[in-house]
Amino acid sequence: MRETTKSNKRVRDILATLREPAAAVLIVFASTTALAQPFYVPSGSMEPTLQIGDALIGSKFPYGYSRYSIPWMPGAPSAAGRLFGELPQRGDVVIFRLTRAPGTTFIKRVVGLPGDRIQMIAGHLWINGRILPVRPAGYDKVEMENGDEVTAARFTETLPNGREHPIFKLHDWSVAGPYDNTDVFVVPPRHLFMMGDNRDDSCDSRFPIEECGVGFVPAGNLVARAEIVVGSYDYLNAHAIWTWLSQFRLSRFLSGIR
C-alpha cells in the first residue's frame, strides 16, 4: 500500500512538472492555429504595400474559420462554409488559398464584394459603374522577381468606402497592359474580387482561373487578414557576404498594413 502511495505521488509530481510546459505548448498551438499565423511575401504583386522579402502576421479571427484557416482542427468547416464567418471590407489585404490549387497561398487586396460590378477601363478600376479616383503620389522603385529595379509611377487610389491605398503603374495610362481593359465582372454570392496593388504585375481576379488560378475567390478560401510586417529582408540583393546585414529593411519592421 505504501509503495502504491509513493508511486501515485510520483505520477502526480511528474504531471505537475509537465503541466506548465504543456499549457504553454497548447497556447502557442492555439495562437498560431486559430488566432494568428506568420506569412512570407515572395513576389512583388502587392508593391508598394508589401515588398519581396516581407515577413508578416495575419490574424485569423476577423473572417471566422474554415478548413483552410484551421486545417488541423477536428470538425473545421468545409471551404464552402465558415464558422463565425464575416466578409472582409473593401480595401482589406487578405491571405487566401488559390482557387485552382488550394495548396498555394496568395495575398491580395479585396476590391469587390458579392454583387459588385467590377471593370477595368484604360487601366482604371471601376466599381458599380463609377471610376475610382486616383491622385499622383510621385515615383518609386519597384523590385522585380529577378532582382532588377524599375521606376514606376505611384498613385493613391480611393475605394467607395473612403479607404485609400497606394498602387503602382509600370506602364503609362495610355499604354494598355494585360487586362487594363476588361468586360464587367459581377461578383457571385459569397465570393470576392482580389487585385494586387502593383497593377501591371499581378495575377489576380482579372485573370480567368485557367490562366493564373485566381478568378473569383470563395469566401471559404480566406485564411487571414494581413495586419503587420514584423520584418523584411532584401534577399534578392544579398550577394556578397559583407552585404548581408545591410539588406535588412529596418524601416519596415513592425509597420502596419493598410
Active site residues: 45, 108
Query: Which residue type sits at 249?
Result: R
CB 220 within 8 A of CB 79: yes
Closest CA to 169 of 193, 147, 200, 195: 200
CA separation for the pair 29, 12 (Å, rounded)? 25
CB 100 within 8 A of CB 209: yes
Sheet holding 130-131, edge to edge: 130-131, 124-127, 117-121, 185-186
CB 131 within 8 A of CB 145: no
DSSP state of 233: B
CA separation for the pair 182, 118 (Å, rounded)? 9
Other beta carbons within 10 angstroms of residue 197's beta carbon come to 23
